[in-house]
A and B are shown apart, each in its own frame.
Chain A
């Protein structure tokens, strides 16, 4: 068997192990070690690799952001901000049809801005919002489904642990990905609210009525949530503005939410220990999978399977959009069975080279060149008027400018290579956001949807089948959103272009 064939076969074997309930990190670790052994003919290479690999993975500066963001989320849970966010959202939305459910979604979105994990968001908001939904006569399945869906906003709205891992895997800028996730995250919240509005009109018995809250009280409740805005602005704004690295931003966030919990008197020793234990479990789980994935990927890289697969897909001449849609459907199906993080670590090293090999035409060379000219004019660069007019005429005709033409104008040239580079970056970001959304759909699709389990565990009186039925409405909203984002890449990318 050739190395390529071994690489190709390793994937179904790995999936088989995972479906036989192997811990996912352990399965990847075994396949990586075994594969390296098989290809090199001895275990030495894998064992030598391992001498430094576990330490270098666990001590990686860029990965150290993960425990810090997890700690930030745990402290955010203690900060009591979940109650303030819900109160504020309820004041403004609660009196509408299905308003308390809409308020839950709004509060989830707010909480997502200081917490990078879906499950933590779902669990925290569930504790606050479920009793309120019950009190105002919302039906059980509708309430649990709303919170399970709302919980996914924890990861769609930056900061987001999954997006951090995607950024590291594809070597993209974390700040750009956070920025790109923002608009789709807001769209998700709006989509869920629309879904609720439709659901309560189709099923009028599923929601009760709540009295209007006076404006003075609404404004007071809104003022209560300033710490959320402050922490979010500092962390995400600071990372984006370049005040600090993403890891430092996560540290600032953990300190911020920790301080908040301390000031509000919720940070007892017992609660602190509980936050640490939860952070410890999640961090250990994630790093163990990352280590397994690293070994598996060293093996894959040796077989050249991802590159050859990418070349093969490109040579087949499939329409890029077809490939993208197939990959997204794959994630949707797998998401029904597997957790999002493992899926990303398992598949991105294989799918990303394929995507990078395809041209989605997300930006045109001519547009980049025209932008450089416009920038030159705006900066007041002294350009010969006749040359400038000639260049503009050439662009208008649809012809690209050459290096020399740019130099003659006194501008830095925009070359084909730069265009290809930027096009790939945009593809990476667009693909990342789409993948993020489809794997998050996996959190709320039956039968294995972690958010559904978490919320259902909080509400013993609602059968999981009732949650399953109601959550399909939210899944539909997600699918429509994915279709819109695929059709109009600009929605995701306009902040970056």
Chain B
């Protein structure tokens, strides 16, 4: 079971990462296109090489709807990043009293908060699903690309679904840890920030 969960968290993270890298690439292309286009509009190039300038004006420019693509992509990426953060206990917390308390107390506290975390992710996913239904219903699209908004909502919801599953699994494993007193999940790493 741990293997399946770990695998799906990793796959989601990589999917999100690939989307992030594509957005980075798309943004660079967009900047380059915009730069060439404004260069072609400038006085220097229109005097020096009018044909080239005309061609550039006609054929270069920013990627249409680059902002919209970034917004849709980043939303999916961040939702897809949630499961791995959950699984590896990456969420920021303050470990001040841990040393002063017994191991059992710490395990109970960890299990409790893991359960709360899972519940929160599920609430977020549930509300996101309702938001998704709304967008599906009203057929809202983005301004430039006319891309249905529900696409990004739906993709984000699927990622949130995995996050919810991972959350429930983690909470369950932490409960087992309270019962047995032995670790059942990989050691917490904490995220860099």
Query: Chain A: residues with CB nearer than 8 A to chain B?
Result: 18-26, 29-30, 47, 50-55, 58-61, 63-64, 67-68, 71, 117, 119-120, 123, 161, 243-244, 247-248, 251-252, 254-255, 258, 273, 276-289, 291, 337-339, 341-342, 447-448
Is B191's CB under 8 angstroms from A67's CB? no
Instruction: Give 18 pairs: A residue, B residue, CB < 8 Å, sorted on A.
Output: A21-B97, A26-B91, A59-B71, A59-B72, A59-B74, A61-B70, A63-B74, A64-B70, A247-B70, A251-B27, A251-B31, A252-B28, A254-B24, A255-B24, A273-B17, A277-B10, A284-B85, A448-B95
B123 and A50 form a contact (CB under 8 A): yes
Whether, in the assembled complex, B14 has its beta carbon less than 8 Å from a beta carbon of chain A, the answer is: yes
Give 3 closest A-B pairs by Cβ, nearest first.
A276-B17, A59-B75, A284-B85
User: How many angstroms from the CA of A20 to the CA of B101 in the assembled complex?
Assistant: 11
B85 touches A30 (CB 8 A): no
| A58 adjacent to B94 (CB under 8 Å) | no
Q: For the complex formed, measure the closest distance between the CB of A273 and the CB atoms of chain B, giving whole angstroms.
A: 7
| A residues near B17, Cβ cutoff 8 Å | 273, 276-277, 279-280
Contact A448 B94 (CB under 8 A): yes
Cα(A235)–Cα(B164), bound, Å = 37
Residues of A within 8 A of B98 (CB): 21
The answer to whether A283 and B81 touch (CB under 8 A), given A58-B75, A338-B94, is yes
CB <8 Å contact, B120 and A67 = no
Q: Chain A interface mostly helix, strand, loop or mixed?
A: helix
Given A55-B128, A68-B24, A282-B191, do A288 and B82 touch, yes or no (CB 8 Å)?
A: yes
| CA gap between A254 and B109 in the complex, in Å | 39
Contact between A339 and B92, CB atoms less than 8 A apart: yes
Give the residues in chain A near B85, CB-CB below 8 Å: 280-281, 284-285, 288
Known A-B contacts: A21-B109, A30-B116. Give 5 more (CB < 8 A).
A51-B130, A123-B192, A279-B81, A285-B92, A339-B92
**How many Å lie between the Cα of A117 and that of B189 in the bound state?**
17
User: Please, which residues of chain A bring their CB within 8 A of the CB of B75?
Assistant: 55, 58-59
The reply to whether A255 and B25 contact each other, CB–CB distance below 8 Å, is yes
B55-110 CB contacts (< 8 Å) to partner A: 67, 70-72, 74-75, 77-82, 84-86, 88, 90-98, 106, 109-110
Given A23-B117, A61-B71; A18-B193 close (CB under 8 Å):
no
**Separation of A58 and B77 alpha carbons in the complex (Å):** 9
Residues of B within 8 A of A60 (CB): 71, 74
- Kindly report which residue of chain A lies nearest to residue B99, judged by CB atoms: A447
A255→B131 contact, CB < 8 A: no
Contact B74 A67 (CB under 8 A): yes
